Amino acid sequence: MTRALFPLLALLTLALFMVSLLTGPAGFGLGESLSALVTGQGEAVTLVMREIRLPRAMLAVMVGASLGLSGAALQGYLRNPLAEPGLIGVSGSAALGAVIAMQTGFAAAFALALPLSALAGAVFAVLLILTLAGPRGGSLTLILAGIAISALAGALMSLVLNLSPNPFATAETVFWLMGSLADRSFSHLWLAAPFMVLGWALLVPLGRGLDALSLGEDAAAAMGIGLARLRLRLVLGVAACVGAATAVAGAIGFVGLVVPHLLRPLVGARPSVLLPASALGGAAMVLLADIAVRLILPQRELQLGVVMAIIGAPLFLHLIYKTRRAEP
């Protein structure tokens, strides 16, 4: 089953990517759309396909892969299937940076001011986590530091919105926090790509260490796994992935929580296999949700984070119910 899983997930992601490219209010035909994408024939169609739909679909793949991979890595390290990428506080801090930029007017200074502010918030969270957890802190210390940072970021966001003198900026902030890939360009993609690629490069090789850690910290140490180095790579990798994803797409939940849960029974609960599988599964899930936001209410596009929660929450509740029934 594991051998067939990766081709199936890759084909599903590719199929959803093509559907995403062909979905939108413009109403172009299949042949016309693909011809414009490949050859550049037709000025209006080419503009829509290459500058609007293509970066949106590519960002959906990158954001989904980053969140799915981060969720699987955190669950493997903490040996807790309820862990998710926002646990260490990076997404909340990135959102705080974006909220401050919107409320102060800095977001209007130049095109990429908003995602850069969110990335700055994510970097600050990483530095704070590493300071609080210390070089020798264990998984419990990491969780507590993340909870504290998430709570502080949430409180500061509420304070900024509460004190906001501009109701229009507040409304814009609330909509941004719901998450969306609409109106994203290649500028957003090139801004997020280096951080996401760095995060993937840090997280994917952790598979062997996480496999050993599933036997316990003492067993992993006896097998030559450096736990402090593994934790540092994990924190930096998750922060790079989640910070970049939040910076360009806003807050999108449930991907890093639900996707590893769905795929874990199919890979035998081995983190080394679950990591790349969750990346592909996350990409497919975000593509599917982004297609749904354009089809459910075409006249008024729903926010991606809202649809993701509508899909993810019942799915997660079903998984919990199945798990409870399987218990003796």
| Domains parsed from the chain with CATH numbers | 2-326 (1.10.3470.10)
Q: How confident is the model at residue 172 (pLDDT cuts 50, 70, 90)?
A: confident
Question: What pLDDT is attached to residue 135?
Answer: 62
**Does residue 15 register a pLDDT over 90?**
yes
Q: How many Cα atoms within 13 Å fall on the side-chain side of residue 297?
A: 7
Mean predicted confidence (pLDDT) in 165-179: 84
Distances (CA, A) of 80 to 221, 260, 284: 19, 11, 24
Q: How many Cα atoms within 13 Å fall on the side-chain side of residue 8?
A: 9
Question: What pLDDT is attached to residue 44?
Answer: 80
Mean predicted confidence (pLDDT) in 246-266: 88
What confidence tens digit (pLDDT) does each residue in 29-77 have? 677 777 777 777 777 888 888 888 899 999 999 999 999 999 999 988 8
| 86 Cβ neighbours under 8 A, 6+ residues apart | 92, 150, 242, 253, 256
What confidence tens digit (pLDDT) does each residue in 103-123 have? 888 887 887 888 889 888 888
Which tokens sit at 138?
Answer: 């264990």
125/246 Cα distance (integer angstroms): 13
**Does residue 190 register a pLDDT over 80?**
yes
Q: How confident is the model at residue 23 (pLDDT cuts 50, 70, 90)?
A: confident
Q: How many Cα atoms within 13 Å fall on the side-chain side of residue 92?
A: 22
168/115 Cα distance (integer angstroms): 19
Phi, psi dihedrals of residue 118, rounded to the nearest 5°: -65, -40
- Per cent of the chain over pLDDT 70 is 95
Coil/strand/helix, residue 3: helix
Q: Determine if residue 19 is left, alpha or beta; phi over 0 gives left, psi from -120 to 50 gives alpha, anything else beta.
A: alpha
